[in-house]
Amino acid sequence: MDTAEIRRRFLDHFESNGHTVVPSASLLLDDPNLLFVNAGMVPFKPYFLGQETPPYKRATSVQKCVRTQDIEEVGKTTRHGTFFQMNGNFSFGDYFKEGAIELAWSLVTGSVEDGGLGFDPERVWVTVLPSDQEARGFWKSVAGLPDERIQDRGLEDNYWHMGVPGPGGPCSEIYIDRGAEYGPDGGPVVDEDRFLEIWNLVFMQEELSQVRSKADFDVAGPLPSKNIDTGMGLERVAYLLQGKQNMYEIDQVFPVIERASALSGKRYGAVHEDDVRFRVIADHVRSGLMLIGDGVTPGNEGRGYVLRRLLRRAVRSMRLLGYEDPALPELLPVSRDEMSRSYPEIASDFARISQVAYAEEEAFRQTLAKGTQIFDLAADSAKAQGATVLTGDKAFQLHDTYGFPIDLTLEMASEQGLAVDEPGFRALMAEQRARAKADAKSKKGRHADTRIYRDALDTFGPTEWLAYERLSTESQVRSIIQESGRTPAVGESQIAEVVLDRTPFYAESGGQNADAGVLVWDGGRAEVLDVQRPVRGLVVHQVRVLDGELTEGTALQADVDPQWRVGACQAHSGTHVVHAALREVLGPTALQSGSYNRPGYLRLDFGWSSALSPEQLREVELAANVALREDLPVSAAVMPLERAKELGALALFGETYGEDVRVVEIGGPWSRELCGGTHVSRSSQIGTVVLTSDSSVGAGNRRVEAVVGLEGFSYLARERDLVAQVSDLLKVQHDDVPGRVADLVGRLRTAEKEMEKLRGAQLLSSAGDLAAGAAEVDGVAYVGHVADGLAAKDVRTLALDVRGRLDASRPGVVAMIGTADGKAACVVAVNDAGRAAGLAAGDLIKAAMESLGGRGGGKADVAQGGGTEVTAAPQAVEAVRRAIQGAV
C-alpha cells in the first residue's frame, strides 16, 4: 500500500466517523516556541490551551512536520529524519478514551477491502500508564487484547505534556510486532526494534501548574473538558505495509536514493558510509522541497539557516559519493513527483521551488571554492609553524563563517597530512547549540501571557471590528491591562493596553502596520501607539494617556488618523501592484514571500535568484504606474478558500488561512490575492510608485523597496533638486549632467593613474637608497623602515623591491611599515640566503605585531600583517632586529 493511499484511508476513516478534515497547516506556524511545526497537534494548540474556541468537536489531519535537533544524526541510523507526516485525530470535549481506542483499533485492524490498514490483530501490542486502569480496560473490552499484550510503562513514556504549564494526560501507544527476525519476544518493554510504535493516543484530562521535566510536574486539577490528541507516524506505517526495512525505503523516499545511486555509480546497501550519504540525500532533498514549498528561503539564521544546512548537506553528500556536477536539478524533480501525489501544490509551484534550490546549490559551489582557499591558507600556516593539527576554532570558523562542512575539513586536512582538533570543534558547536537552546527556552511560556486576553474575550465577547467600514466610532472600555495584570484605571503619561467593545482601528497583520489615532472621552485623551490581536476575536489597543484618567467602563470616541489610513491604504495597495508588476515583467515564479508596509513606504520580498537589471527595475516601475494611470477598480470579497484557489488568488507563504478568506482584486485577475488589509478603492488613488532599491535577502530571494503617494512625489522632488544642484555646479543643462560627470570621472581616473605611476617611480627611487643603507645584524643585511602615509599595497611593493636590491649572496631581511589612516601595515621579506640561514618571514613578523597590536602571518619568504598602534612603528622595526639576532 503506497503512502498516499495510507494517507487517504486515514482521512476517509475519520471523516466517515464525523471528523472535519483539516488540511495540513504550513510548516511555518506563528508560534514563538517553534522554528517549524514539529507535531500533528501544533496547529490545534490554541484549542487545547483554551486560547480559542474550536470550530468543530472532532477533527482529523495529516500534518507536515520538521524536526531539526538531530540533523547531524540523519542517515547514521534509519530512525532519524527531518521531514515526516503525522496522521492525527482530535476530540475537543467530545469522545474520550473509549472512543479513541475504538476508532484506532478499527482502522489499524480493519480489512483492506473495507478501507482499513489490515494489520493482524495478533501482532498488535499496546502500552498504558500503570495508573490508567481505565485505558487498560477499554483495550480489553473494545479490542479484546489479552493482559500480556497491554504493558505498563512509566511517566517518561506514557504521559504527555508540552513542557510548560497547561494540559496534560496519560497516553497509550500502539505497537506492531515485526517478527522474530527483528529481535527478542516480550513486547515493547523488551525490544522497540521488533515491536515498532506506530500510534500514540493522548488522553488530555489534567491541568498542570508546574513542569520541571518529562516525569516531574504538578497537577493543578482536572481539565474543564477532556480532549483527545493522537499521532500516527505515516512513514512508519508505510514501511510496515510496504514490507520495507525503514522509512528511507518507502515509495516517497527511495526513488531519490535510486537516482543518486545511478548518478554516482555507487550502490545502496554495499558500504555503510555510502548508505549514510544516500539517506542524508533522500531525507534532505525531500525536506528542502517541502520547506521551500512553504516559503522558506536559504539564509544565515533561523529557518533559512536550517534549510541552507539541509540543501548543502545533500549536495556535499553527493560530492562524497563522487558526483561533482550540480545535483539538485537531478534529484529535486524525483522528490517532487513522489510528494505531489499528496501535495499537488508542490508540482504547480515547482518552478519557484526549483529556482530557490538551484540558486542555493550554485552559491554553495562557489562557497566550496572560496572555503577551499581559506582552508589552504590555514593548512599552510599550521604546517609553517610545525603543527600537525588544525585547531578546533579554525575548523569552527570554516563551518560557521564560510559554511564549510566539518567532514570536508576532515577529508582535506587528511590529504595534507594534518589532523583536526575535533573535540575542540565539537565543543564550540555545543556552545553554539547551547546558546540557541537557551534562547529558545527563554521564549517558552509565552502562551501563559495570552490567558488575560482569553479571560477578556470570555468575559466580554469578541471586539466588533469596523476597520473596513469607518474611521471613527463611539465605543466603551471593557478592560485595561498593564504588565502587572488587569487594572481599573490608568492616569496621565501611563501606557496600557485597552480592550474596547468596538473599534475602527486596523490591527497589525499581513505586513501592514497598525493604525494610528486617538481615544477621546469626557475629560481625557489617549494616543494609540499600537493595535494587535493577541487571540482571535479580540483587538487590543496599546495607548499612552495624554490627559485625564481612563477607567474601565468609560464611554469614548475612537478616531483613526485619516491621513495615516490613507497612506496605509496607498502602501498596501501599492504592495499588491508591485507584486503584480514583478510577475508581469519577470514571470509567474516571482512570487511574494513576505512584505511590510506603512504609510508612504513598502517593501516586498519575492523569489528570484539574481539582481534585477536597471532595465528590469524600470519595466517593473513602469508596469506599476501604468496600472495606476488605468484607474483599475479595487474590490474585496469573502469566499471559501477552495473557491479562492480556483480563481487563482495568491496566498502568502507561511500564513494560516481559515475556511473563508478575503480576496482583494486590483483590475480583476491582474492582481488577485488573499489579504486582510485596508486598500484604496481605485488604483489611481495610490498616486505614484517609485522603486528605490533592489537587494538580496538570501539565495533565491530578493527584496524591492518603494515609496508611494506623497512620499513618492517627495522622493522624486529630492532627486530633481539634486540634479539641479549638480547642473548648476557643472554649468550645464540637466540633460547634459550624465555626460559631463562621465567626462570628469574619466579625467579623474586618468589623473589617479598618473599619480600612481609617479608614486611607483618615487618608491623605486627610494628602494635603492634603502637597500644601500642596510644595517649589519649578526651577518644579516637588515633594512627596517617606517614610511609615513604609505598604504598596505605600496608597503609590499617597496619591501619586495628593496629585498631584490640586497646582495643575494648573503642573508637579507626587509621590515617595511607603512602608516596611513590611523593603521599600520607591516611587510617582512626574507631573501633566499636568509631562508637558507634559518630565517622565516612568518616568524619575524610576529615580533613586529606584538608592538603594533595586531596580527600577521605568511610564508617563509614574505609575511604581512596590520595593527592599530601606529606610534609603535619604530619599536616594531627594532623588535624585528632583535628577532633576527635571536634566530641566527
- Burial zone of 603 (CB within 10 Å; 0-12 exposed, 13-18 middle, 19+ buried): buried
CB 595 within 8 A of CB 602: yes
Q: Which residue pairs, CB below 8 angstroms and at least 24 apart, start in 153-159?
A: 153/127, 153/128, 153/129, 153/188, 153/189, 154/129, 154/130, 154/215, 155/129, 155/214, 155/215, 156/214, 156/215, 157/127, 158/127, 158/128, 158/129, 158/132, 159/129, 159/214, 159/215
- What are 437's three cell numbers? 537552546
Q: What is the pTM (predicted TM-score) of this model?
A: 0.68
**Among 547, 551, 504, 498, which residue's Cα sits nearest to residue 526?**
547
Class at the top of the CATH hierarchy for domain 449-560:
mainly beta
User: Which residues of the chain carry a pLDDT beneath 70?
Assistant: 30-33, 70, 402-403, 433-449, 653-658, 699, 756, 759-760, 763-764
* Residue 772 neighbours by CB under 8 Å, 6+ apart: none
Q: Are strands 217-233 and 780-788 parallel, antiparallel or unpaired?
A: unpaired
Classify residue 756 as left (phi > 0), alpha (psi -120 to 50) or beta.
alpha
CB 654 within 8 A of CB 26: yes
Dist CA 248 CA 281 (whole Å):
10
- Which residues, listed in sequence order, are joined to residue 526 by a DSSP beta bridge? 519, 545
**Among 372, 387, 378, 375, which residue's Cα sits nearest to residue 857?**
378
- What are 476's three cell numbers? 466603551
- pLDDT value at position 794? 85
Dist CA 532 CA 516 (whole Å):
12
| DSSP state letters, 794-860 | HHHHHHHHHHHHS-TTS-EEEEEEEEETTEEEEEEEE-HHHHHTT--HHHHHHHHHHHHTSEEEE-S
- Burial zone of 776 (CB within 10 Å; 0-12 exposed, 13-18 middle, 19+ buried): exposed
- Give strand ranges (E) for 129-194: 150-152, 159-161, 166-177
Q: Which helix (H) or strand (E) holds 532?
A: strand 524-532
| Distance set, CA 871 to CA 61, 311, 794, 852 (Å) | 71, 50, 19, 8
- pLDDT value at position 441? 43
- What are 635's three cell numbers? 474590490
* Residue 757 neighbours by CB under 8 Å, 6+ apart: none
CB 867 within 8 A of CB 822: no
Dist CA 507 CA 512 (whole Å):
8
**Among 256, 215, 174, 244, which residue's Cα sits nearest to residue 1?**
244
- pLDDT value at position 653? 63
| Distance set, CA 375 to CA 10, 394, 398, 408, 732 (Å) | 52, 9, 7, 10, 54
Binding site feature residues: 572, 576, 675, 679
DSSP code at position 253: T
Dist CA 23 CA 64 (whole Å):
10
CB 519 within 8 A of CB 525: yes
| Distance set, CA 501 to CA 333, 476, 478 (Å) | 53, 6, 6
Three-state DSSP state, 60:
strand
- pLDDT value at position 447? 39
**Among 122, 111, 140, 106, which residue's Cα sits nearest to residue 177?**
122
Measured torsion, CA atoms of residues 54, 59, 60, 65, in degrees rounded to the nearest 10: 10
Three-state DSSP state, 103:
helix
SS3 content of the chain, % helix, strand, coil (to 5): 45, 25, 30
Domain residue spans in the chain? 3-245, 254-443, 449-560, 565-718, 776-887
Looking at the structure, give the CATH architecture of the domain made up of residues 3-245: 2-Layer Sandwich (3.30)
Dist CA 154 CA 651 (whole Å):
45
The interaxial angle of helices 709-730 and 562-586, nearest 10 deg, is: 70
CB 828 within 8 A of CB 864: yes
Q: What is the 3-state secondary structure (H, E, C) of 718-771?
A: HHHHHHHHHHHHHCCCHHHHHHHHHHHHHHHHHHHHHHHHHHHHHHHHHHHHHH
Q: What is the identity of the amino acid at 565?
A: R
Instruction: Show the DSSP H helices in 401-506 as ranges.
Output: 406-415, 422-443, 451-460
Q: Which helix (H) or strand (E) holds 226?
A: strand 217-233
Class at the top of the CATH hierarchy for domain 565-718:
alpha beta
Dist CA 855 CA 870 (whole Å):
14
Q: Do domains 3-245 and 565-718 have the same CATH topology?
A: no
- Burial zone of 791 (CB within 10 Å; 0-12 exposed, 13-18 middle, 19+ buried): middle
* Residue 322 neighbours by CB under 8 Å, 6+ apart: 264, 265, 266
- What are 286's three cell numbers? 525531500
**Among 619, 608, 631, which residue's Cα sits nearest to residue 581?**
619
Domain spanning 776-887 has what CATH number?
A: 3.10.310.40
Position of cell 617611480?
761
Q: What is the identity of the amino acid at 871?
A: T
| Distance set, CA 580 to CA 5, 293, 687 (Å) | 38, 20, 17
**Among 795, 802, 866, 797, which residue's Cα sits nearest to residue 831?**
802
Position of cell 595593527?
867
Binding site feature residues for Zn(2+): 572, 576, 675, 679
Three-state DSSP state, 88:
strand
Q: What is the identity of the amino acid at 511?
A: G
Dist CA 268 CA 261 (whole Å):
7
- What are 400's three cell numbers? 560557521
Cβ atoms < 10 Å from Cβ of 762: 12
Dist CA 251 CA 589 (whole Å):
29
